[in-house]
Amino acid sequence: MAVLLSPRPAVVAAARRAGARTVVVAPDPSVPSDREGAERRVRTDWRDHRHLIGAVGGMEAVRRGRAAVFGFDAAGALAAARANEELGLPGTPTAAVTALMDKAVLRARSNTLHPGRPVSFARCGRAETLPFVATLIGYPCVIKPRAGADGEGVRLVHDEAEARAAALGYPEITDLLVEEYLEGPELTVEALSRGGRHRVLGWSRRLTGPRLTATGHDLPVALDPSTAEAVRALVRGVLDLAGHHDGPSHTEVILTAHGPRLVEAHARPGAEEFGRLLRIAHGTDVLALALAAGLGLPEPVRTPRAAYAGLRYVDFPPGPGPGAVRPGIAAARAVPGVVRVQLEIPPGAAVRRAPTGGLHHAYVLATAPTAGALARILDRAAGLMRPADRRIRQPEGFA
């Protein structure tokens, strides 16, 4: 039985594909319904550990060890790990989840994998000292919260003036990491670990804007055999160093001139849209595989596919929001090759600020027989969704 913490409908559907019975635990009654395959719903605030243990500890499947708790976002992954450990259920160890969340410790550990050319970094505890610390690392450099997730609070600064401006956006007493800017193509890598053996499920090319915000993903990614093996070795090495023995993981890697280098890693799958991309592109069902592995069920049948696939994020400028471009959204869905257009905010919502970090207002997912055709389809569909008379500002906040 899969105990799912505030899952999105895609997670419940993946549990059904994995052949698992499901219990949805959420503080809000508006959780995925029976239409998505949930057999039982429990209303409780799982973010309170005692509440979660009290809500699920008495279930027969839990008492018999025939269940596991799953959380597929940052908070859910940590809560699930703690619950599984206390209840004696299989899952990712809490220590591994927290090790992957601590970017300073993870950077220090990952540097041992390439001692000849480590990534320069330093911690910063007071925002006012950011310009000084950044100067020590050298420009350009990246500032990020030590325990952040999904790109929140990440800044790329090119000089002292930008570092001083960035310092104003953090609390006076803070816990930040300042590290050298890594140049090169970026990959997002999904893996699944069982008994300390790490299986790389797939990767994509992560596209970024001028401020490191993701603009989309493309795959397949053509890598020469030595680079591909170096990427796998880095991911496996990082997971070993974190003590990640079981469960899914999501790792971001940059292919620098000195070899692959870690950006960050997480004890959970990537975002839902990235999972959809891998499933459409070559049949790898990351969520269903993770659920099946955690419950000891047979792996879902994989259906190989050969298409090029990609997604592009779409963000709306401040104003009426997606309701103002509804005809464009309908037109984007009608573009040949478009598989999905997903709105992440209500159609009638007003947008007050641009999104931050890994949050986006919408995305377009498409397939095509060639890389060139894919790029044209995605550009056309994304363009149809953007208002023609208003410029989209750089990310500052999210409504």
Q: Is 116 exposed, middle or buried (0-12, 13-18, 19+ CB in 10 A)?
A: exposed
The full DSSP string for 196-261 is: TEEEEEEEEEEEE-TTS-EEEEEE-----HHHHHHHHHHHHHHHHHHT--SEEEEEEEEEETTEEE
Q: In what order do the strands lie in the sheet with 186-194?
A: 259-266, 247-256, 186-194, 197-208, 214-219, 308-314, 362-368, 338-343
Q: pTM of the predicted model, to two decimals?
A: 0.91
End-to-end CA distance of the chain: give it in Å, rounded.
36
| Structure confidence at residue 392 (pLDDT) | 40
Measured CA to CA, the distance from residue 20 to residue 67 in angstroms comes to 9
| Structure confidence at residue 395 (pLDDT) | 36
| Structure confidence at residue 29 (pLDDT) | 63
The full DSSP string for 84-144 is: HHHHT--S--HHHHHHHH-HHHHHHHHHTTSTTSPPPEEEEEEGGGHHHHHHHH-SSEEEE
The residues pairing with 68 across neighbouring beta strands, listed in sequence order, are 2
Q: Are 394 and 354 in contact (CB under 8 A)?
A: yes
User: Which contiguous run of DSSP H or E holds residue 263?
Assistant: strand 259-266
* Each residue's pLDDT tens digit, 90-105: 998 999 999 999 999 9
Residues of the chain with pLDDT under 70: 29-37, 306, 321, 324, 388-399
| Structure confidence at residue 235 (pLDDT) | 98
| Structure confidence at residue 301 (pLDDT) | 83
Tokens 């023609």 locate to: 388
Taking Cα atoms as reference points, which of 102, 118, 113 lies closest to residue 267?
A: 102
Cβ neighbours around 162 below 10 Å, total: 18
In this structure, the strands spanning 2-5 and 68-70 are parallel
Three-state SS annotation for 341-386: EEECCCCCCCECCCCCCCCCCEEEEEEECCHHHHHHHHHHHHHHHC
- Backbone CA torsion sign across 228, 230, 233, 235: negative
